[in-house]
Structure 1
Amino acid sequence: MKIAVAGIGGIGGILGGALAKSGADAYFYVRGENLKAIRNGGLKVDSITLGSFIARPKAASDNAEELGAMDAVFVCCKGYALEAMCRGIAPMIESDTIVVPLLNGVEISGFMRPILPSCILADGIIWVFSHIEEPGHVVQNYGKCKIIFGMSDGSRPEKLGELASALDGAGIDTQISDDIALDSWKKYLSMCGNSVVLCYYGGNVGEVRGHEGYKKVLRSVAEEIVTVARAKGSEMPVEYVDKFVEGFSKLAPETINSLYRDLTSGKPADKTELRHIIGRMVEFGRQTGVPTPYHEAVYKRFAK
């Protein structure tokens, strides 16, 4: 199975590195200094899950035509780069190619479908804490590495099972979902909810917990997401509001997340995932008629 990983950052680096190490027919769609480093010395991977090794793909290129048609393509980029990525990888995609986005957010395939050539377009989510240490070097210091993917209509194309087997063989815990929309909303609740709360209060988890009444805000933020998800047809259990509040109470006091870090470090809003994560909830709220006041307040504050 010919598999391309498009975007060799923290997520794509771990995924592509694991596939290349396993002997899979793996290709990297990668640019800039990262591409130079990988061509010169391979991709160095230091992972608490997979070990330390040098991964060498079958080929690495910033030219999709050079890499050729693929059986499967994993899309691993930031949300603000997704449209450009979809256009860039188009030459690798045929009608029977499986495309799996592994991005922060929800209902990613709906955004991608009008841009990509006809293909088998899935949705996916990944749990991994990893980053690019320097060009050609990806690090995962803690946590697990797990992928869930599936088709929005619940179908199971044969190639989906082949792809899951390739990932399992590469040491990545993989699951095919019969309800990937619901699974995506569950992860989105934690990721987007935490982003909104941290941005709303302007501090890390410990600083948020120092505010009187913060649990009421946590609950309201989670209720906005759960209500929108249900309005869009995903029957997210209402008890996930309680789980979100409970989970926040267990986070280390110094915890922040990548969106909050980017927004408070001086990055322009359009070079962060603000629109892709929080902005999408604002859009969904307006589409469904569900009020999302906390999401709207944070979005308006930072989208300047």
Structure 2
Amino acid sequence: METNDIENKEKKIAVVGIGGVGGYLAGMLARTYPHVTLVARGDRKTSIEEKGIVLHSEKDGEIVVHPERVVASAEELVQQDYIFICVKNYSLEEVCAQLQGAVTEETVIIPVMNGADTAERTRRYLGKGTVVDALIYIVAYANADYSITQEGDFADLRIGIMNPQETELRKVNQVSALLTNAGVDHKASDDIEREIWRKYILNCAYNVASAYYDNNIGELRSDPEKAQEYEQLVQEAYQVAVAKKVHVLPEHVDAIIHRFYYELADGATSSLQRDIRAGKRAETDTFSGYIVTEAERLGIEVPVSRRMYEGLRAKTL
């Protein structure tokens, strides 16, 4: 066993938010590391305490594992070495307030969430520790019995820090070693901002159009007018990224549009669409409001994004 493996076995790791993404990471991490604590409430907490994390993964197989602890609030956490935050964006500020007692200057915080400014906000809310930017490509969701399903042959993280200092780069490498030992596919990126925006631009179309029309991908691309609007949403988000000096390229946009027409499953739906349909609080401002606000600040016209944002807000009032 390498030195990093031995050291990591003694590290305290917390996962906050045990939905699809958090549940997948919790299952993989708790399978490998003995000191994993999960933050979960109510019946979900009870289920994990009684049955463990039950992960049905097409990629990694059937995993049932019991974490060391399950707590109802992040306020109950002792000081941690690594904290993975996997909550909805609207809960981030509250969670960071609850995490104050668990975070030291040596703690590494990895928010694996939707949105373009998640790590930036986490740094601002916490004011200590090292925040590593992250995103994940995964299809995963929590089931009614609190088990987690991961579909497909991919669950792929990207991690990094923009223009890292030497100490920050060391922290990124530590997270990479932690994930490698746990069997989590990932890559440490030297331009994590570009990676985040590549996914974010996709979601500014995928989540927004599917939720606005309550259509799956097959329904969207079979309607020429809706398909054109999908492309326009991609282009509007791209223009905002360029204005912000993010290093996204036209070929990245081409790949996103190609994926819409030729790669996404006909029946694919989005998390925003499912939340709005179920009457749940939704990440409308994460996928739609942020682009509209930033476009206005930068003097960019985004008519389709604006119209759909207003329509989505009306749905969720």
TM-score by length of 2: 0.88
SS in 1 for 2:250: coil
Matching residue of 2:270? 257
Over residues 110-153 of structure 1, what are the superposed CA-to-partner deviations in whole Å (9 max), with x where a residue is unaligned?
A: 22222214121121001221111235421213231111111133
Matching residue of 2:7? none
Residues 211, 270 of structure 2: 8 Å contact kept:
no
Residues 149, 176 of structure 1: 8 Å contact kept:
yes
Matching residue of 1:2? 12
Over residues 156-211 of structure 1, what are the superposed CA-to-partner deviations in whole Å (9 max), with x where a residue is unaligned?
A: 43232122111111111121111111000001111221123334544222222333
CA separation of 1:292 and 1:143: change in aligned 2, threshold 3 A: farther
Matching residue of 2:249? 237
Residues 274, 303 of structure 1: 8 Å contact kept:
yes
SS in 2 for 1:134: coil
Offset at residue 234 of structure 1 (A): 0.5
- 2:253 alignment partner AA: V
Residues 282, 296 of structure 1: 8 Å contact kept:
yes
Matching residue of 1:295? 305
Matching residue of 2:124? 114
Offset at residue 214 of structure 1 (A): 4.3
| Unaligned segments of structure 1, at least 5 residues | none
Of residues 227-236 and 189-198 in structure 1, the stretch that sits farther from structure 2 once superposed is 189-198
Offset at residue 216 of structure 1 (A): 3.4
CA separation of 1:205 and 1:153: change in aligned 2, threshold 3 A: same
Alpha-carbon distance in 2 for matches of 1:56, 1:34 = 13
Alpha-carbon distance in 2 for matches of 1:195, 1:124 = 19
Alpha-carbon distance in 2 for matches of 1:91, 1:223 = 42
Alignment of 1:57-206 (within 5 A): 57-155=67-165, 156-206=168-218
Residues 196, 294 of structure 1: 8 Å contact kept:
no
Alpha-carbon distance in 2 for matches of 1:53, 1:16 = 11
Offset at residue 247 of structure 1 (A): 1.1
- 1:256 alignment partner AA: T
Alpha-carbon distance in 2 for matches of 1:225, 1:139 = 30
TM-score by length of 1: 0.92
Alpha-carbon distance in 2 for matches of 1:59, 1:166 = 19
Alpha-carbon distance in 1 for matches of 2:61, 2:265 = 26
Offset at residue 215 of structure 1 (A): 4.5
Of residues 189-198 and 165-174 in structure 1, the stretch that sits farther from structure 2 once superposed is 189-198
Alpha-carbon distance in 2 for matches of 1:63, 1:208 = 40
- 1:111 alignment partner AA: R
Alpha-carbon distance in 1 for matches of 2:268, 2:58 = 20
Over residues 90-127 of structure 1, what are the superposed CA-to-partner deviations in whole Å (9 max), with x where a residue is unaligned?
A: 22111121111111111212222222141211210012
- 1:185 alignment partner AA: W
Aligned length: 301
Q: Quote the RMSD (CA, aligned, Å).
A: 1.9
Of residues 91-100 and 19-28 in structure 1, the stretch that sits farther from structure 2 once superposed is 19-28
CA separation of 1:56 and 1:217: change in aligned 2, threshold 3 A: same
Alpha-carbon distance in 2 for matches of 1:243, 1:21 = 35
Q: For 2:290, which of 252, 265, 280 is the aligned residue?
A: 280
Matching residue of 1:217? 229
Offset at residue 17 of structure 1 (A): 1.0
Over residues 244-287 of structure 1, what are the superposed CA-to-partner deviations in whole Å (9 max), with x where a residue is unaligned?
A: 22111112322221212322x1525xx10111211111111112
Percent identity of the aligned residues?
A: 28
SS in 2 for 1:68: coil
Offset at residue 63 of structure 1 (A): 3.8
Alpha-carbon distance in 2 for matches of 1:17, 1:129 = 15
Alpha-carbon distance in 1 for matches of 2:66, 2:273 = 34
Alpha-carbon distance in 2 for matches of 1:247, 1:185 = 16
